Amino acid sequence: MSGRRTRNGIMACLMLLWLATSASAELVGLWRFDDATNLGKATIGNDLVLNNEKGTISSVDGIGAGDKAAAVGPGDSFSLTHDIDPNGGSNDYVNQYTILYDLNTRTNGWRSLLQTSAGPNDNDGDYWISPSGNLGVGLIGYSSGSVEENTWYRIVFSANIGGDLNPDMEGDQSFMATVIDINDDVVFTHFHGSQGLNGRHSFYSTPNLNIVHFFADNDGEDGEIYVTQLAMFDGFMTQSQAEALGGPGSVVPEPSSFVLFTSSLLLVGGLFRLRRRSR
């Protein structure tokens, strides 16, 4: 076993341990876009609904051999019935969540990542990559750090609406974006401004419409994106949690795999000890 694989194994184990013990953010949806015949198929959670009226959604190559991704162009998008209950102190809306995007944008125009309205094209998108590559939206501000087009990134968008994600920073920061590159290096983490409970970025939850949309906008400000992995968590992540995730294409740990994974690690550890003892 190489040093890198050992390190990756330990990292994965620590991440699984953290996810299994973290009460704040459970993985409730995971999509890998590897099945060209069923692009919206879920690994965890509900299948994505493909809004493909413009015909821009198709299967494309992802990261490395065997990986596939979905292309999504202007006017088209994905809708998700997420089944997340109201949280953050609300009876109606999802105020705490994290979305993980492993993506590669194909243009340098406006690229909508999130749409919280009832229908995907009802109004302006709610979280963007701007033409200059900055993350955000006017209401909560933009990151000073930026991303390049034609480059794979993991973007983690964490929301604690009505709350504060950074007690060390003056005022309330209700949103955080962490960007990680293909080498597992953190490109930047940015804290956006405050928002009151049930604000623009809150989702319709289980008692009402129970829906959210990805890569959608009302008038074409949703430039083409390749997405190879998408995940939804039902709580916010902190900076250290988000920055501990690997880069684009790396495993998003499933809570159900935790027991199996640690059992196999213990088994491997036991075999190593047995071998050493027999020498």
Instruction: State yes or no: residue 32 binds Ca ion (CB under 5 A).
Output: yes
Among 164, 181, 243, 254, which residue sits at the site for Ca ion (rule: CB under 5 A)? 164
Beta bridge partners of 99: 157, 232
Among 29, 40, 45, 62, which residue sits at the site for Ca ion (rule: CB under 5 A)? 62
Q: Apex CA 106: angle with CA 104 and CA 108, to 5°?
A: 110
Number of other residues whose CB lies within 10 A of the CB of residue 186:
17
Residue whose tokens read 């196999």? 264
Instruction: State yes or no: residue 217 binds Ca ion (CB under 5 A).
Output: yes
By beta-carbon proximity to Ca ion, the closer residue of 243 and 262 is 243
Instruction: State yes or no: residue 61 binds Ca ion (CB under 5 A).
Output: no
Beta bridge partners of 176: 158, 191
By beta-carbon proximity to Ca ion, the closer residue of 92 and 221 is 221
Tell me the C-alpha distance between 53 and 75, whole Å: 8
Torsion sign, CA atoms 18, 24, 26, 30: negative
| Segment contacting Ca ion by CB under 5 A, of 40-48, 82-90, 145-153, 210-218 | 210-218
Binding to Ca ion by CB under 5 A, coded x per residue (else -) over 131-150, reads --------------------
Contact status, residue 111 vs residue 223, Cβ threshold 8 Å? yes
| C-alpha 37: how far from chain center | 23
Tell me the C-alpha distance between 149 and 153, whole Å: 10
Instruction: State yes or no: residue 111 binds Ca ion (CB under 5 A).
Output: no
Instruction: State yes or no: residue 189 binds Ca ion (CB under 5 A).
Output: no
By beta-carbon proximity to Ca ion, the closer residue of 152 and 233 is 152
Instruction: State yes or no: residue 166 binds Ca ion (CB under 5 A).
Output: yes
Instruction: State yes or no: residue 92 binds Ca ion (CB under 5 A).
Output: no
Which residues contact Ca ion (rule: CB under 5 A)?
A: 32-34, 62, 67, 117, 123-124, 126, 164, 166, 169, 217-219, 221, 228
